[in-house]
Structure 1
Amino acid sequence: MWIYLIQGLGFGLAAASQPGPLQTYLISQALTRGWKKSLVNAFAPLISDAPIILLCVLILSQVPDWFQTFLYIASGLFILYLAYGTYKTWKNFDENQTQTESKIDGLSKAVMMNFLSPGPYIFWSLVTGPILVKGWRETPIHGISLLLGFYISFISALMLIIFIFGTAAKAGPKVNRAMLGISAIALFLFGLYQLWQGI
């Protein structure tokens, strides 16, 4: 049991520390909405990963190539949409306004981004999926231990990222605007990369 728990903790930390569209989106949300209002977005993988894990475990090696291509293209278009929204926030940034309020639920966007991104599908089918299946076959406690360890470290690391960048936003409006610009560029590049992978 402990081996699977430790493996889960390690995989979760590795997944959170790799720069990707979800992490970039969480950073942009922390900069615009503040860390307190953005913290809930760290739980997006708990919502979006359940069907992904089921899909990957049930048809682990039978996912057709066209499905992965579709995911790359859908993910790329959605990330470009988010990049445009972040760019608009950067362009219309008001230095006299302490915090930009968003009427759009950041959690639903974070869930959608994670669900459309091919990253979780590839991760759960090639990396952790086989370990989860092996552990579950030994005893369900092993499979649960892997999942528990993974999400404890993954969500904790995402919350730390949100807190760090949300706190950094208080360093001043110019720093906040610069970081928003960087987030917009990063999202744009991630979107183009996903499209390139799918085409």
Structure 2
Amino acid sequence: MAQAAFSRIPSALPYGRQVEFFSRLRDANPAPVTELEYVNAFTLLVAVALSAQATDVGVNKATKGLFRKVTTPRQMVEFGLEALTEEIKTIGLFRQKAKNVIALSKRLVEEYGGEVPQSRAALMTLPGVGRKTANVVLNSVFNFPAQAVDTHIFRVGNRTRIAPGRDVEQVERAIEDNVPVEFQQNAHHWLILHGRYVCQARRPRCMICPVEDLCPFEEKTE
């Protein structure tokens, strides 16, 4: 992850502005969800693991047929590496990702009775599963207010000063520390969608932004 372009981390937006910021995002999208398609905790875990350096759209295309055949770790092990590799070959780094998915499926069968553990530490011991992947599963399936910070959230967190930080862990901590509790469960969904469709990297769409007047970003577009 690239470092933020400042030497000193600026302070986050004050509480009142945080409330107004997320209230507007909630009004526009009261029940945000991940754009990855899944059936259960295991298929979401697989989908997120496959999404590294790939788009959600691309992952969904690859897993549409896969998740009709495979929905449990045991079924994935039986499906096998060769078949899985063929199934996901349209996704970047598909060979290594296929190996990781088979390996994590075996681990789930052998150590967790075929269930996805409800612990970040346990999830992060699985092959190919990092903190972001673990947080997505904890948030979307187990309703834990974990913050899965990706490039979109890193950008939006710093531009808007909702959650400034030099790296993804600092931004994650800033969300946890500064975003009011009532918005914690859905905060990362609102921020990622805002970054994906409005506060885009090269040319943010400030003219349609619902929180433009609350945002201190200086290089706004007309």
Q: Which of the two has greater helix per residue?
A: 1
RCO comparison, higher one (Cα < 8 Å, 6+): 1
TM over 0.5: no
- Scaled by the length of structure 2, the TM-score of the pair is 0.28
- Scaled by the length of structure 1, the TM-score of the pair is 0.30
